[in-house]
Amino acid sequence: MSLFEKFHSIQQAREEILKSGINPFHLTIEKINSATEGVINGRATILVGTNNYLGLTFHPDCIQAGQEALAHEGTGTTGSRMANGSFSSHSDLERAIEDFYGMPHAIVFSTGYQANLGVLSALAGPGDTLLIDGDSHASIYDGCRLGGAEVLRFKHNDVTDLDKKLRRLGDRSRRTLIIVEGIYSMLGDRAPLKEIVAVKQQYGATLVVDEAHSLGVLGKQGRGLAEEADVEDGVDCIVGTFSKSLGSTGGFGVSIHPEFELIRYTSRPYIFTASPCPSVVASTKVALRIMRETPQLRQQLWENAQTLYDGLEKIGYTLGAEVGPVIAAMIPTKEQALAMWQGLLEQGIYVNLMIPPATPNGESLLRCSVSAAHTPKQLETIIQSFSNVHSSLKEHAPSLQT
């Protein structure tokens, strides 16, 4: 058996999808006009699948900061911070993150994915245990594998199951790292964080919260679910990304523990990856300031999320249980999801198509990510397009119940 034979089953599954005449694998946005509009297949398209929650990708202050950094510091760092040294802007951004969270130690990574790889693999190694929510993001799973610790899963958002597994670990619970997410990216639901913190403290475990989709979204100051649940003092480390609410790329970890700084010497993704580009660091720092100074963006995001959720629910779609910036419509079959995704695209609406095996419980989803920048007119158009596709497909498949 050659190394490449294992790809045959993937190729067959891909070809089965392509036989339908729909190709969701290589969609290209030919032009970006704004935070919420682009051109796809030559058609003006409303973007509802970008995670651009606060709509900051085209903010003039962010663009200006990036342009100035590009002119003064060049296009890239050409190496890791361990080997090539840090730019002063890297340290400035870390101090800004520390100030934002009120925590004394922050580390910036080149991507949000690498933030999880770097932090989790450094915190838990051989002889330690990782307890992760079953619906955790791929970067969490990969970060756990990289460190070599024993990995256990508890049922999604099930505090009773978490408690049971910690109890079975006995004394090992004190060398156990629990990992949950503020908002889960597939269905938009939140971790029961207050209860999780209570269980964590009972057994003396350590807790990391991934706030990738909740930064800028939850909490009075936008710090995420830990702030909203008023349990920041019970969280040992927060990881997150700049690629959602802050509209750039990169990731971070922040902690109350002084030992967290030593991750710089043990984290392979930090040591061996080129550091973030100056222009990205500059625009991120400005986006963080704008997010802090403009709470009305968060308010607008939630108003838009409620409008879209109510509109899709009224049509008859089955949605995730919670209103939020991630709104997932559950579709009965993969074939129907493909057809509906294509139908929306032909009407100038781009959403995320999520099909097994990447989805929880093998469900097929059409996932929307709402932005504060979506206008009332755009939301009306999105809802109407979902209605049109729903009606059209029911004509051809009367048994369709979404």
Task: Kindly tell me if the per-residue pLDDT of 389 is higher than 60.
Answer: yes
In the CATH scheme, what is the homologous superfamily, with its name and number, of domain 17-47+295-396? Aspartate Aminotransferase, domain 1 (3.90.1150.10)
**β-pair type (43-47, 37-40):** antiparallel
Q: 393: burial class by Cβ within 10 Å (0-12, 13-18, 19+)? A: middle
Which pLDDT band holds residue 398 (cuts at 50, 70, 90)? very low
Which pLDDT band holds residue 21 (cuts at 50, 70, 90)? confident
Question: How much is the pLDDT for 382?
Answer: 98
Question: How much is the pLDDT for 26?
Answer: 81
CATH 3.40.640.10 applies to domain 58-293? yes
Task: Kindly tell me if the per-residue pLDDT of 53 is higher than 50.
Answer: yes
pLDDT in tens, 217-247: 999 999 999 999 999 999 999 999 999 999 9
Question: How much is the pLDDT for 19?
Answer: 78
CA-to-CA separations, 82 to 116, 268, 288, in angstroms, rounded: 19, 10, 25
Question: How much is the pLDDT for 2?
Answer: 87
Q: Is 178 in a helix, a strand, or coil?
A: strand
Percent of the chain with pLDDT over 70: 98
Question: How much is the pLDDT for 397?
Answer: 55
pLDDT in tens, 98-126: 999 999 999 999 999 999 999 999 999 99
Question: How much is the pLDDT for 214?
Answer: 97
Question: Average pLDDT for residues 6-13, to the nearest whole number?
Answer: 85
Give all strands of the β-sheet with 37-40 in edge-to-edge order: 29-32, 37-40, 43-47, 349-350
Question: How much is the pLDDT for 227?
Answer: 98
Q: What pTM value is reported for the model? A: 0.93
Task: Kindly tell me if the per-residue pLDDT of 349 is higher than 80.
Answer: yes
pLDDT in tens, 255-290: 999 999 999 999 999 999 999 999 999 999 999 999
pLDDT in tens, 369-387: 999 999 999 999 999 999 9
Task: Kindly tell me if the per-residue pLDDT of 33 is higher than 50.
Answer: yes
Question: Average pLDDT for residues 311-333, to the nearest whole number?
Answer: 93
In degrees and rounded to multiples of 5, residue 244 shows phi and psi of -110, -95
**83 closest CA partner among 236, 264, 341:** 264
Task: Kindly tell me if the per-residue pLDDT of 399 is higher than 60.
Answer: no
Residue ranges covered by each domain of the chain = 17-47+295-396, 58-293
